[in-house]
């Protein structure tokens, strides 16, 4: 598949993409079919990990909304403070004008006319009075306008605070639900771990997980639209960046490609990178999401198609931030690192594949 040579997406491509999503969903369900009590427990784990991933994604969005709303609220408060300052200035000026008018009022027009003062002087004083009254009226209008603005701003601030409180309440409810789900997940995983202590069972499970992933990769090769449509600016192909890509997350490499899993003769087909739960997972190269769901043995898994037969896989995520069909630029945040898929400690499973065959990621990526 050549990313650089594809055209702009149209209605036909959108329709193919919809069919792709349905096909992949059906495939995913088939791959995760289970039997027996242990598999029923795994199904519950799968559902919980999906739910937890969705909750964490929503919490991330809520946090962004909270930060934006708090920034907007600070702006409104600053505007209100400026309006109050302007209002204080107007009131001070009006006070001075009223005070001046009061002192001048002791020599009213009529008194000056009855005293037969110079008509020119009288005219000047009358004109001054007129300008003074006009200025006073303008100041009163300005104060009224400032009061109206303040009232509007205060109402906006009240609404923003109410919205923030509502967001925080929703976030707290989501967190409570999340903690309950995590507790249940922990109990289920403990139950599963007790059942897979037998090494032979563990070998069978790992081989089944690998076979499941192989089936998925084979199916993806047959159902992907050809050729994929490139994002803006696509030019350098994946193959040309050998050894120049960055790893998808920061952390120690816990397992390397080709290393033993210490269970039978099963070996690692990618890297296991340690890290903190929730830290960002980024795309190593531009591409399109072709799979974003839970897969047994790999938890919440995201697969990117980079064209020319190259794909990268990101497994054990806490939550996924992109969906099938999304175009992703290099360095974009695509997921949060986690423990899904029977992982005891936080870590990211990362693979590079060419035409479905695993390749050593450290040939393509340099450690940070």
Interacting residues of 105 by C-beta distance below 8 A, sequence separation 6+: none
Tell whether 35 is covered by a domain.
Answer: no
pLDDT recorded at residue 210: 79
pLDDT given for residue 194 in this prediction: 63
Sort strands 280-282 and 327-328 into parallel, antiparallel or unpaired: unpaired
> Which residues are bridge partners to 320 per DSSP?
335
* 161 and 278 part of one domain: no
CB 247 within 8 A of CB 368: yes
172 and 240 belong to one structural domain: no
- Provide the pLDDT for residue 306: 93
Q: How far is the C-alpha of 141 from the C-alpha of 90, rounded, in Å?
A: 10
Residues 90 and 233 in one domain: no
Tokens representing 313 are 């896989």
List of residues 6+ apart from 254 with CB closer than 8 A: 272, 273, 274, 347
For 353, phi then psi, to 5°, come to -125, 145
Number of domains making up the chain? 2
The confidence score (pLDDT) of residue 2 equals 41
> How much is the pLDDT for 214?
82
Q: Does 154 lie in the same domain as 93? A: yes
Last residue of one domain, picked from the residues 184, 199, 232: 184
Q: Which of 184, 207, 225 is the last residue of a domain?
A: 184
Q: Which residue has the tokens 């771990």?
A: 193
Using an 8 Å Cβ cutoff, are 366 and 356 in contact? no
- CATH number, domain at 348? 2.70.70.10
Q: Which residues contact 321 (CB under 8 A, 6 or more apart)?
A: 57, 60, 333, 334, 335, 336
Whole-structure pTM over 0.75, yes or no?
no
Q: How far apart are CA 238 and CA 284, in angstroms?
A: 10
Contact 141, 109 (CB under 8 A): no
**Same-domain check for residues 260 and 161:** no
What SS3 state is found at 319? strand
Residue 170's pLDDT is: 77
Q: Which of 167, 184, 201 is the last residue of a domain?
A: 184
178 and 300 belong to one structural domain: no
Residue ranges for the chain with pLDDT beneath 50: 1-9, 34-36, 199, 227, 229
CB contact at 8 A, 353 and 285 = no
User: Residue 31's closest CA among 183, 245, 215?
Assistant: 215
Could you tell me how far CA 343 lies from the centroid of its own chain? 24
CA distance 222 to 232: 26
> Residue 78 sits in which domain range?
69-184
Distances (CA, A) of 350 to 17, 46, 70, 300: 25, 20, 37, 12
Note the pLDDT tens digit of each residue in 176-192.
776 777 677 777 767 66
């Amino acid at each position: 598949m050549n990313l650089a040579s594809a055209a702009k997406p149209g209605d036909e491509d959108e329709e193919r993409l919809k069919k792709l999503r349905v096909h992949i969903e059906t495939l995913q369900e088939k791959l995760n079919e289970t039997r027996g009590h242990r598999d029923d427990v795994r199904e519950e784990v799968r559902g919980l990990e999906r739910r937890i991933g969705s909750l964490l994604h929503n919490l991330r969005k809520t946090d962004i909304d909270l930060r934006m709303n708090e920034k907007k609220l600070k702006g409104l408060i600053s505007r209100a403070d400026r309006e109050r300052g302007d209002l204080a200035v107007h009131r001070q000026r009006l006070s001075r004008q009223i005070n001046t008018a009061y002192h001048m009022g002791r020599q009213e027009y009529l008194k000056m006319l009855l005293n037969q003062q110079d008509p020119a002087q009288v005219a000047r004083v009358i004109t001054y009075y007129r300008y003074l009254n006009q200025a006073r009226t303008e100041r009163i209008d300005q104060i009224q306008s400032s009061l109206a603005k303040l009232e509007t701003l205060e109402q906006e601030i009240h609404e923003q605070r109410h919205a923030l409180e509502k967001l925080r309440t929703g976030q707290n409810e989501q967190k409570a639900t999340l903690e309950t789900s995590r507790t249940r997940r922990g109990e289920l995983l403990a139950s599963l771990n007790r059942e897979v202590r037998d090494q032979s069972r563990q070998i069978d499970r790992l081989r089944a997980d690998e076979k499941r992933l192989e089936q998925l990769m084979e199916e993806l090769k047959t159902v992907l639209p050809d050729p994929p449509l490139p994002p803006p600016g696509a030019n350098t192909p994946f193959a040309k960046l050998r050894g120049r890509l960055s790893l998808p997350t920061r952390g120690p490499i816990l397992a390397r490609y080709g290393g033993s899993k210490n269970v039978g003769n099963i070996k690692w087909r990618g890297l296991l990178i340690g890290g903190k739960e929730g830290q960002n997972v980024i795309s190593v190269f531009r591409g399109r999401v072709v799979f974003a769901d839970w897969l047994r043995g790999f938890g919440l898994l995201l697969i990117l198609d980079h064209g020319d037969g190259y794909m990268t896989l990101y497994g054990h995520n806490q939550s996924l931030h992109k969906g099938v069909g999304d175009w992703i630029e290099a360095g974009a945040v695509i997921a949060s690192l986690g423990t899904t898929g029977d992982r005891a400690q936080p870590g990211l499973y990362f693979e590079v594949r060419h035409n479905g065959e695993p390749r050593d990621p450290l040939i393509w990526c340099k450690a940070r």
